[in-house]
Amino acid sequence: MSRASVELLFAAALEASPEQVEALLASHPDQVESEEVRRLLARHLVLSKAEQHAGFLDRLDRAQASALMVACETTDDPKNIGRYEIVRRLGRGATGVVYLARDPELGREIAIKLLSPSLSADPSAVRRFSEEARAASALDNPHIVTIHEIGRTSDERLFITMAYTPGETLRERMSRARLEISDVLQIGAEIADGLAAAHSHGIVHRDIKPENILLTPRGACIVDFGIAKIGAQTLTNTGAALGTAAYMSPEQTRGSKVDYRSDIWSLGVVLYEMLCGVRPFAAENGEAIVYQIRHDRPKSLAIACPNLSSDAAQIIERCLDKDPTMRPQSAADLASQLRAPGLHRKWLGLKRVVPLLAAFALVAVAATAVMDWKSIARTERTPPAKRRTQDMVAYDLYVRGTYNWNERTRDRLESAISLFNQALARDSSFALPYAALANTYINMSNYGYMPWDSTLPMATAAAARAVRLDPSLAEAHASLGFLFASNGSFEKSEASFRRALQLDPSAASTHHFYSLLLMIEGRPDEAARENHQSLELDPSFPIANTNRGIILAQQDRFDSARVELTHSLDLSARNPLAHHFLGAIDAAEEKYAQALLNLEDAYRETPGYPGISGALAYTLRRLHRSAEADSVVHLLHENNGTNRNQINLAYHEAINGNMDSSFAIFSRVRLDLPTLIGLRADPLLRRLRADARYPRLLASVGLKP
Amino acid sequence: MTEHASEDSSELPPLDALVPRIFDELREIARRQLSREHDRFTLQTTELVHEAYLRLANDKHVTTRGRPYFYAAASRAMRQVLIEAARARGAAKRGGGARLITLDDQTAAVDAYGDELIELDLALVELEKIHPRHARVVECRFFGGMNVEDVARSLGISPRTVKSDWAFARAWLFDFLHVGPT
């Protein structure tokens, strides 16, 4: 009791005038407490007034703190590890220290890696690491370092003994001198050989970098299999915990599940660095590097390493494709490509431009090949004036943008924006990317990644530009329709969609957007019809499949809705909206444990989407996990200034049956498009829809119940 | 049902499991920087914490609890890293310090600073017993280098509370360190 009242009294006194302070202290029932507060207030006054104390606790003296760290960095090397006698330290890495040691029993020299204490603690992580390290070692591949033993020191630290081969790491080699192109390709092929052996047994390295490659007389050798896993501590982890950001694949930086293609990316980074002497993603700090990895194309090898043949450049640049499915699909393939005869020789034809263009065309063809052919056909049908571009690269960028746009996660939408902009940088009269850009900006706000105020001007400008460039482009009018629907101009929206469908009735996205408008207008049959049309035209359009599930949920056909939503997750695994509605249906049917899995997935990707946090908090409470529920709601209260958080609070109130406060909030926020869809369809809002105030709420934005 | 931001200290999320892991990370990152550029090494607390976040961003504890929580845990880990360094330095000094990197004229100042940090740490331990939330605010601001808004977000309290806690803690610690426990 005393602790709290002292704290409260002090806080109150801080904000009071001197006379009030006296009154406060005098009226406090406990004199000991009021005396303590009086003393602390006096100290506070001294600290804020007196010059000589201005620095007290002001901030850490970084220079001194650094010197302290330097001074204590003595790390006594042990004399023995297990039965081995330490000869000398070979090096120190992020995961531990490597020593040259002697095995007195066998009389041979070995290398020992002593792992840092944090990597030795978790028994299950250690077990997984041991399994993987042993499995990789058992492959007996000349390009994977053989492990002899995994043991523990007397103070429980983990160590690994390995064959010792005199040599140097690739990092050391690179810092000595630039490698010849033929050596780079040879080393790359050998690393790929080692990876191929591991991958064929389901082992992913996750931390390929020059420090983990040894150059021995027998060739390049990969070390540290499994280490990334031990640092990760969880099975789903990717090893980002240990990897230097610079070599991580985009999926690794996101913490997504990674497979062998992540190693192929990292090898691409290593190859690039060997050739150019700089890394492809070399920003100043970790965060900026991660941004580059996710969004930027590295400087073209044709420029960064002009002596490299375009074939070789293409192979390496393909390793660095943001989309794992676009990378070489096996390390074995990559190894044989890197060994192709004549690869290291520069093309000696008339002009370098010719093979380069050929390479671009190839990439474009490869990019389109993985897309559903139907959606390509959709964009290629009836080409009027300026919808198409002569620039293959611009077209390729546009197609890849739409591919990213299909998944509504933040990073995908950001990539889409970047790709559309890159396409426009190449051909500014290309109308389609403008329309797509408008849609993407609208989605950025719909999913709560950016406030509407900042996307509205950009979306408007992009849609207007698309219409100006090509007034007969259906996609441009559909973007306008989507924009109007999102901005509450429902009649204008309807007109734009009709115009778009008149121009081209075969665009699946137009039908999809139109069905959203019909949903919020309370025309469910027509909405279902348009949705059906869009799926007829493009059965694998992920978000239209999701929307089909939502329409079914609105009709209380939960089982069919589940089938459709699950199907849309098959088409695109990272689909927060599908997870959200699956979770909401589960929760409405009181299947809370199942609901939680879906809602957590949705919340992780798009915490700002209307209703996700409310459904999550509700489900957590039902599972008696109130503390977590509270913290979800607490975050909304903390930042309750945004429209989205207000909406989410209103949802939360409604789901919990607090209709008065829910309607009170709803009546003062901007009801955006996803919110209106939620009001119409969210299974957890059935009680709200039954309330007499619901029709009035809809009428306030010009909608019929 | 309306939720109110409770600002009782008992409501603060526990800093349990994450701290030791971040501790190892921070020390490792600092050491790596140190081995690269020990001539001009300056501890960048916020950057260290940030890098540790990137490295641990896949840890389940981190993802479920979120970034603000991580920063609070990292501030405590930073405190431990520095106190460990200060203690190691003190022990080496008492043991003759033969293996120490010589810092010449700087040495005395560094030692003094290390002693100050140890004293502050002891005072914080006392403050934490009575006013745990206030001690956490000090950790975040002083060791984590965070601003008022970030501290508020990390601890789930309002910026106003952060400010008054900070004033209270500073006064309390000053009192403790200069006058002694009462």
Stretch A260-272: mean pLDDT: 95
Check: pTM over 0.80? Answer yes or no: no
- Closest CB from B1, B131, B156 relative to A3: B131
Model confidence pLDDT, tens digit, residues A226-245: 766 654 433 223 233 334 57
Is A415 inside a domain boundary? no
Strand order in the sheet with A108-115: A80-81, A84-92, A96-103, A108-115, A158-163, A147-152
Is there a single domain that holds both residue A621 and residue A701? yes
Please say which residue of A285, A317, A338 terminates a domain.
Answer: A338
- Looking at the fold, whether A33 and A150 belong to one and the same domain comes out as no
Lowest mean pLDDT among A56-65, A372-381, A484-493: A372-381
Q: Do A69 and B145 count as a contact with CB atoms less than 8 A apart?
A: no
DSSP character string of A467-524: HHH-TT-HHHHHHHHHHHHHTT-HHHHHHHHHHHHHH-TT-HHHHHHHHHHHHHTT-H
User: Would you place residue B6 in the very low, low, confident or very high pLDDT band (cuts 50, 70, 90)?
Assistant: very low
- Asked if residue A263 has pLDDT above 90, the reply is yes
Q: A264 and A126, same structural domain?
A: yes
User: Is residue A484 included in any domain, yes or no?
Assistant: no
Phi, psi of A90 (to 5 degrees): -95, -35
Pick from B38, B82, B164: CB nearest A65: B82
CATH code for position A644: 1.25.40
Whether residues A94 and B32 touch (CB distance < 8 A) is answered with: yes
Residue spans of the domains in chain B: they are 16-178
Joined tokens for residue A178: 């630039």
Domain that holds residue A618: 578-705
Q: Are residues A226 and A331 in the same domain?
A: yes
Residue A73: list chain B partners with CB under 8 A: 31, 34, 38, 101
Instruction: Express each pLDDT in A131-168 by its tens digit.
Output: 777 777 777 888 988 888 888 887 777 888 888 877 78
| A76 → chain B, closest CA residue | B99
The H-or-E segment that residue A221 falls in is strand A219-222
| Residue A175 is assigned to a structural domain of this protein | yes
Residues A100, A42, single domain; the answer is no
A522 domain-assigned: no
Instruction: Write out pLDDT tens, residues A645-686.
Output: 899 999 999 999 999 999 999 998 989 999 999 999 999 999
Pick from A291, A319, A338: which residue ends a domain? A338
Residues A43, A90, single domain; the answer is no
Same-domain status, A154 and A212? yes
How close, in Å, is residue B73 to chain A by CA atoms? 16
Q: pLDDT (tens digit, 9 = 90+) per residue, A318-347?
A: 999 999 988 988 999 999 999 887 665 543
User: Of the given ranges (A293-297, A377-381, A575-579, B45-49), which has the lowest mean pLDDT?
Assistant: A377-381
ipTM of the complex: 0.81
Average pLDDT over residues A418-433: 87
- Cβ proximity of A302 and A310 under 8 Å: yes
CA distance A67 to chain B (A): 6
pLDDT at B110: 72
Q: What is the mean pLDDT of residues A526-538?
A: 91
Contacts of A48 in chain B (CB under 8 A): 167
Q: What is the mean pLDDT of residues B70-74?
A: 84
Query: In the prediction, which pLDDT does A433 show?
Result: 93
A150 in a structural domain: yes
A84 in the same domain as A43: no
Token reading at A179: 């490698």
**What local confidence, expressed as pLDDT, does residue A79 receive?**
80
Answer whether residue B180 shows pLDDT above 60: no
Residues from chain B contacting residue A237 (CB–CB below 8 Å): 58-59
CB contact under 8 A, A72 and B59: no
Question: What's the rounded mean pLDDT across residues A181-207?
Answer: 91
Q: What is the CATH number of the domain that holds A217?
A: 1.10.510.10
Does some domain include residue A152?
Answer: yes
Instruction: Name which residue leads in pLDDT, A161 or A285.
Output: A161
Domain count of the fold of chain A: 3
Q: What is the pLDDT of residue A237?
A: 30
- Whether chain B has a CB inside 8 Å of the CB on A65: the answer is yes
Specify whether A158 is located in the same domain as A20.
no
Between A52 and B129, the more confident residue is B129
Same domain, A44 and A136: no
Question: CA B86 to CA B99: how far, in whole Å?
Answer: 16
Question: A133 and A281: one domain?
Answer: yes
Catalytic residues of A: 207
A369 lies in a domain?
Answer: no
Residues A44, A87 within the same domain: no
Contact A242 B55 (CB under 8 A): yes
- Final residue of a domain: which of A317, A338, A359? A338
Q: How far is the C-alpha of B131 from the C-alpha of A7, rounded, in Å?
A: 8
- Reference A447, options A480, A417, A475; nearest CA is A417
CA distance B18 to B25: 11
Residue A551's pLDDT is 93
